[in-house]
RNA sequence: GGGCCUGUAGCUCAGUUGGUUAGAGCAGUCCGCUCAUAACGGAUUGGUCGCAGGUUCAAGUCCUGCCGGGCCUACCA
């Protein structure tokens, strides 16, 4: 039995995420976690909310709430929606947890001891009206290059030129609009990533089987220009993890907090501690996943994320772990995704464009979304959601191919033999051919799932569903029943077993439908079909079952058009 | 500006280290079946593989240039 540690990129606390965020990390991670559990492996699947940073403070202020209260509420909401999508986290933690406070401060202390932290004095823009330092992109002004009057302090969106806030003409706060700004001197800690450049480079080079998307982004950062740059890991904010050197104060760093991108990945580890606390476990119970000196040496760690998160996971976080000099578990495989676009443009949280997770669940059950998103996962390039494609795929794959198969088999059996697995007849060459075909296909399905080739796995699963229809068509139990009821009984017996098999194989993709099928088949035998012939005899003659309700209803043209209109504009406040 | 990814049938995509007549699903057309959510099965139409050169006995695959789409470029996270 292997041990799989799986983490999904942690979603930012600021609002409800859209379907592009979902397919970019949490959903594929859940698919992999469910699959590995189904194969009988031990899995620890962790996710959390990323709660610190300027956007969280501003969102809380806008909502008129203290930031900790705002985060607590948003965590509860995101957690509930994650449940709605059947994301099977072992724990859904919070980067603001006490565990993460301690661990982040611990890492900073270790890095300082190792000489990998440098104190740097820099100039930052301070807004007197807002009473806070502002990140570069929260300063607006006129672009000195093209004259665009809403250029941001880091870059002009109009002419794409790189800027410093001080380059802007008539700079103002993007928060309040105030032009009462001044440049202040402030001291920050930098992580000396440059000192670890060669070590990181060698580590990346040794990962030959990682997706090109992952390694190419890492290489770019390692070798672009002067090579990997040091990175500020502190900020002048109120909300965050106070800067400390382990449990000691850090002179000169009072009133500062760690930068979210320093503490967010550490939350992957801290989340293990939160899991232990929530389940009455000991430190040893989570450390056996995270400390190679305490049992994690046989753990396989896989991370899932969108491409925008790759630099932090391939460079900054490994630098933190390596630099600590302690035996924390490093990632073994990084699966990264491109973006999902929405009907000709981009999904956008800030503009409210596209379908958001809460809205999706309001109009259709999770399985519909899970199937479409996973079978169209943007693995090789950006992909696109259109309502036409969604309707066509869901109706054909889920309703016609899988759902209708279940209907025709269970209803035929009920009308001819009653609601129990019929006895009589023997399996012949046709059945053997089906078993051989399924065996080949299931082995291919496993190979794709092991390699996290999601679209290929979905295609193979669909082909496995199709094989059932092909078999029924050629076996013709409705014709056989008239001349040789025993022969028809054998076909139906096999087909009913096929339904249980489909439930087991499909569960990682469509867990609710799988559960419905298991209940209808009146079984809790969810063992993986290592031996297909044996798996198809799990339900013996005489075993009772129930005809389930329609497994997947079809999306009508009217609904599609309605949704197309409803989601064409921006999300209501 | 620089870097990376990408352009294959009407649509969504596969095409391993270059190797026969380029594949799948959907849509279309025809046929079959009637157990079923008017579902299922079989067959079939459809592509000068973005364009132009080059290397090679052989190029969708390698090289060069051009055209189109996308992403990243380090203080949003």
pLDDT score recorded for residue A378: 87
- Measured from Cα to the C1' atom, the residue closest to B40 is A469
A407 CA to B4 C1' distance (Å)? 48
- Measured from Cα to the C1' atom, the residue closest to B6 is A381
Chain segment A11-56, per-residue pLDDT in tens: 999 888 889 889 989 999 999 999 999 999 999 999 999 999 988 9
A474 CA to B44 C1' distance (Å)? 20
- Closest-lying nucleotide for A405 based on CA to C1': B36
Q: Which residues of A481-514 are buried (b: 16+ CB within 10 A; e: fewer)?
A: beeebebbbbbbbbbbbbbbbbbbbbbbbbbebb
Q: Which of A291, A314, A264 shows the shortest CA–CA distance to A104?
A: A264
A29 CA to B70 C1' distance (Å)? 24
With bands split at pLDDT 50, 70 and 90, how would you rate the model's confidence at A226? confident
CATH of A386-535, one of 3.40.980.10, 1.10.730.10, 3.30.540.10, 1.20.140.10: 1.10.730.10
A454 CA to B33 C1' distance (Å)? 34
Chain segment A418-455, per-residue pLDDT in tens: 999 999 999 999 999 999 999 999 999 999 999 898 98
CATH topology of domain A117-191: 2.170.220
With bands split at pLDDT 50, 70 and 90, how would you rate the model's confidence at A223? confident
- Closest-lying nucleotide for A350 based on CA to C1': B76
pLDDT score recorded for residue A573: 37
pLDDT score recorded for residue A570: 58
H or E stretch covering A409: helix A404-416
Using left for φ > 0, alpha for ψ between -120 and 50, and beta otherwise, residue A343 falls in left
Neighbour tally for A298: CB within 10 Å: 10
Please state the rounded mean pLDDT for residues A465-469.
96
- Closest-lying nucleotide for A378 based on CA to C1': B13
A257 CA to B75 C1' distance (Å)? 14
Q: Which of A371, A361, A356 shows the shortest CA–CA distance to A513?
A: A371
- Closest-lying nucleotide for A260 based on CA to C1': B77
Q: Is the pLDDT of residue A222 over 70?
A: yes
* Residue A446 token pair: 């496993």
Q: Is the pLDDT of residue A269 over 70?
A: yes
Q: Is the pLDDT of residue A572 over 50?
A: no
For A97, the 3-state DSSP assignment is coil
A373 CA to B12 C1' distance (Å)? 13
Chain segment A125-162, per-residue pLDDT in tens: 899 998 888 888 888 888 777 777 777 888 777 666 77
Chain segment A418-427, per-residue pLDDT in tens: 999 999 999 9
Q: Is-contact A36 A103, C-beta < 8 A? A: no
Q: Which of A112, A116, A389 shows the shortest CA–CA distance to A249?
A: A112
The verdict on domain A3-115+252-337 having CATH code 1.20.1530.20 is no
For A190, the 3-state DSSP assignment is strand
pLDDT score recorded for residue A160: 67
- Closest-lying nucleotide for A481 based on CA to C1': B35
Q: Which residue has the tokens 């059932």?
A: A468
- Closest-lying nucleotide for A346 based on CA to C1': B70
Q: Is the pLDDT of residue A407 over 70?
A: yes
- Measured from Cα to the C1' atom, the residue closest to B3 is A220
* Residue A242 dihedral angles phi and psi, to the nearest 5°: -55, 140
- Measured from Cα to the C1' atom, the residue closest to B36 is A408
- Closest-lying nucleotide for A225 based on CA to C1': B2
Domain limits, chain A = 3-115+252-337, 117-191, 386-535
For A231, the 3-state DSSP assignment is strand
Nucleotides of B under 7 A from a protein CB: 1-6, 11-14, 24-27, 32-37, 39-42, 69-77
Q: Is-contact A527 A521, C-beta < 8 A? A: no
Q: Quote the CA–CA distance of A573 and A565 in Å, as a whole number.
A: 17
A338 CA to B5 C1' distance (Å)? 10
Number of helices followed by number of strands (H, E) in chain A? 22, 19
* Residue A419 token pair: 């609601």
């Amino acid at each position: 039995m292997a041990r799989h540690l799986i983490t999904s990129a942690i979603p930012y606390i600021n609002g409800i995420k859209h379907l592009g965020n979902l397919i970019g990390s949490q959903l594929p991670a859940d698919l992999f976690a469910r699959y590995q559990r189904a194969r009988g492996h031990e899995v620890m699947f962790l996710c959390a909310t990323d709660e610190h940073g300027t956007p969280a403070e501003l969102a809380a202020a806008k909502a008129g709430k203290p930031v900790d209260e705002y985060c607590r509420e948003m965590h509860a909401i995101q957690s509930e929606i994650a449940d709605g999508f059947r994301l099977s986290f072992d724990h859904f933690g919070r980067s603001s947890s006490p565990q993460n406070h301690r661990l982040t401060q611990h890492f900073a202390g270790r890095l300082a001891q190792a000489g990998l932290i440098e104190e740097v004095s820099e100039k930052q823009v301070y807004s007197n009206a807002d009473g806070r330092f502002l990140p570069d992109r929260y300063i607006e002004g006129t672009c000195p290059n093209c004259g665009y009057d809403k250029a941001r302090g880091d870059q002009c969106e109009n002419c794409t030129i790189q800027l410093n806030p001080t380059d802007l003409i008539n700079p103002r706060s993007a928060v309040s609009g105030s032009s009462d700004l001044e440049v202040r001197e402030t001291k920050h800690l930098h992580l000396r990533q440059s000192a670890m450049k060669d070590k990181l480079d060698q580590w990346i080079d040794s990962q030959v089987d990682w997706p090109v998307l992952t390694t190419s982004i890492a290489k770019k950062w390692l070798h672009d220009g002067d090579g990997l740059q040091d990175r500020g890991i502190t900020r002048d904010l109120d909300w965050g993890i106070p800067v400390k050197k382990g449990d000691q104060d850090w002179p000169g760093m009072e009133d500062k907090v760690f930068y979210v991108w320093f503490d967010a990945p550490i939350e992957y580890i801290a989340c293990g501690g939160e899991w232990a606390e929530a389940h009455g476990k000991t430190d040893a119970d989570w450390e056996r996943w995270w400390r190679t000196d305490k049992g994690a040496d046989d753990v396989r760690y896989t991370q899932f994320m969108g491409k925008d998160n790759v630099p932090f996971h391939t460079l900054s976080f490994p630098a933190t772990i390596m630099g600590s000099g302690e035996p924390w578990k490093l990632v073994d495989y990084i699966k990264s995704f491109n973006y999902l676009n929405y009907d000709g443009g981009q999904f956008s949280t800030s503009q409210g464009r596209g379908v958001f997770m809460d809205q999706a669940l309001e109009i259709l059950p999770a399985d519909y979304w899970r199937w479409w998103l996973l079978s169209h996962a943007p693995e090789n390039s950006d992909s696109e959601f259109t309502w036409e494609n969604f309707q066509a795929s869901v109706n054909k794959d889920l309703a016609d191919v899988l759902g209708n198969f279940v209907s025709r088999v269970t209803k035929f059996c009920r009308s001819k033999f009653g609601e129990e697995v019929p006895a009589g007849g023997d399996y012949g060459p046709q059945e053997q051919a089906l078993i051989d075909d399924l065996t080949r296909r299931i082995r291919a399905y496993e190979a794709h799932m092991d390699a996290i080739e999601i679209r290929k796995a979905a295609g193979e699963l669909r082909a496995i569903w199709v094989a059932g229809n092909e078999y029924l068509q050629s076996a013709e139990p409705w014709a056989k029943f008239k001349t040789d009821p025993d022969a028809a009984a054998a076909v139906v017996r096999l087909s009913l077993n096929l339904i249980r098999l489909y439930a087991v194989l499909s569960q990682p993709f469509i867990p609710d439908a799988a559960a419905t099928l298991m209940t209808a088949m009146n079984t809790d035998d969810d063992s993986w079909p290592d031996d297909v012939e044996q798996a198809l005899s799990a339900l013996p003659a005489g075993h009772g079952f129930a005809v389930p309700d329609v497994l997947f209803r079809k999306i009508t043209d009217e609904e599609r058009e309605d949704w197309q209109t409803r989601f064409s504009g921006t999300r209501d406040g």
